[in-house]
Amino acid sequence: MATNKNDQFKSPQQEPLLIVISGPSGVGKDTVIHVMKERALPFHFVVTATTRPPRPDEVNGRDYFFLSKDEFAEMINKGELLEYAIVYNDFKGIPKEQVRQALASGRDVVMRVDVQGATTIRNLCPDALLIFLITRNEDELARRLKARKTEDTEGLNLRIATARQELKHLDIFDYVVTNQENHLEDTVDTIQAIILAEHHRVHQRKVTL
C-alpha cells in the first residue's frame, strides 16, 4: 500500500499528562494552582478530598472536598481513592474516578499532593510529570508559614522539620521550581513552559491508571 508523503510530516498525537504539583507545606502550591486557574489554562484541576476543616476563604468542592473521617473511610473501603495519606493528623486523598474521566477526555490533569502522595503517584504511574516547588531558603518558608497564622509554635516547627525531610526525596521528581517571594507569575510561567516542553517530547509520556 502506498504511503501518502504528507503523512510523514504529521505531528505525533499529544498524550494527556498527569501533572503533580508538590512541595513542603507553605511553599505556595494552592496559590500557584489558583493562578493557573485564573489564566484559564486547558487543564482539569483535581479537587482533593480532606478531613481537615476548611480555612476561612476555602469553599467545599472548589478548593477541597471537606469530609468527615467516616466519609473518608468509606471512600477508602470502596477503593475510590487514587492515593491517600495522613498529613498533620488529617487525611488527604485524590478521587480516582475524577482523574480517569479527565484523562479519558484528552485533557491534562493537574493535582496537588504532598511528597508522600507524590511518591505513591510515581509508583502507580511512572510516566506522571512530577514538579517540586521550593522557596529560596528555609527562612522564607518559615515566614510564609507564620504569615498564614494557622499553626502554633509547635505546629510551625513540625512543618519546618517535615520540609527538611521532604527535600531528601527530590530524586523522585522531574523538575524543581523555586516559587520566589513576589515572583508568583514567574513561577507559573516556568511551570507552563515545562508542560509545553513535555508535550513536544519525541517519546511522549503515556499515563495509565
Convert the pLDDT of each residue in 75-105 to its tens digit: 999 999 999 988 778 999 999 999 999 999 9
* pLDDT tens digit sequence for 109-125: 999 998 988 999 999 99
Q: What is the CATH number of the domain that holds 34?
A: 3.40.50.300
Q: Please, where are the H alpha helices in the chain?
A: 29-38, 69-77, 96-104, 115-124, 138-148, 153-166, 184-198
Element (H, E) at 86: strand 81-87
67 within domain boundaries: yes
Q: What is the pLDDT of residue 209?
A: 79
148 within domain boundaries: yes
Contact call for residues 51 and 161 (beta carbons, < 8 A):
no
pTM for this structure?
0.84
Q: Which of 1-5, 18-22, 60-64 has the lowest mean pLDDT?
A: 1-5
Q: What is the pLDDT of residue 11?
A: 58
* Average pLDDT score over residue span 31-36: 94
19 within domain boundaries: yes
Q: What is the pLDDT of residue 10?
A: 56
Q: For the purposes of burial, counting CB atoms within 10 Å of the CB of 25, is it exposed (0-12), middle (13-18) or buried (19 or more)?
A: buried
Query: Which residues does the annotation mark as catalytic?
Result: 55, 148, 159
Could you identify the residue written with the cell 518558608? Answer: 141
pLDDT band per the 50, 70, 90 thresholds, residue 8: low
pLDDT value at 9 more than 70 = no
Range of the domain at 160: 15-198
Q: What is the pLDDT of residue 4?
A: 61
* pLDDT tens digit sequence for 170-189: 999 999 999 998 899 999 99
Angle at 120 between CA 163 and CA 173, to 5 degrees: 60
Q: What is the pLDDT of residue 44?
A: 94
183 within domain boundaries: yes
8 within domain boundaries: no
* pLDDT tens digit sequence for 129-166: 999 999 998 888 888 888 877 777 888 888 888 888 98
Contact call for residues 16 and 106 (beta carbons, < 8 A):
yes
208 within domain boundaries: no
Task: Provide the domain count of the chain.
Answer: 1
Element (H, E) at 65: strand 64-66
Q: What is the pLDDT of residue 18?
A: 97
* pLDDT tens digit sequence for 52-66: 999 888 999 988 999
DSSP 91-132: EEEEEHHHHHHHHHTT-EEEEE--HHHHHHHHHH-TT-EEEE
**From CA 49, how far away is CA 75, in angstroms rounded?**
10
70 within domain boundaries: yes
30 within domain boundaries: yes
pLDDT value at 24 more than 80 = yes
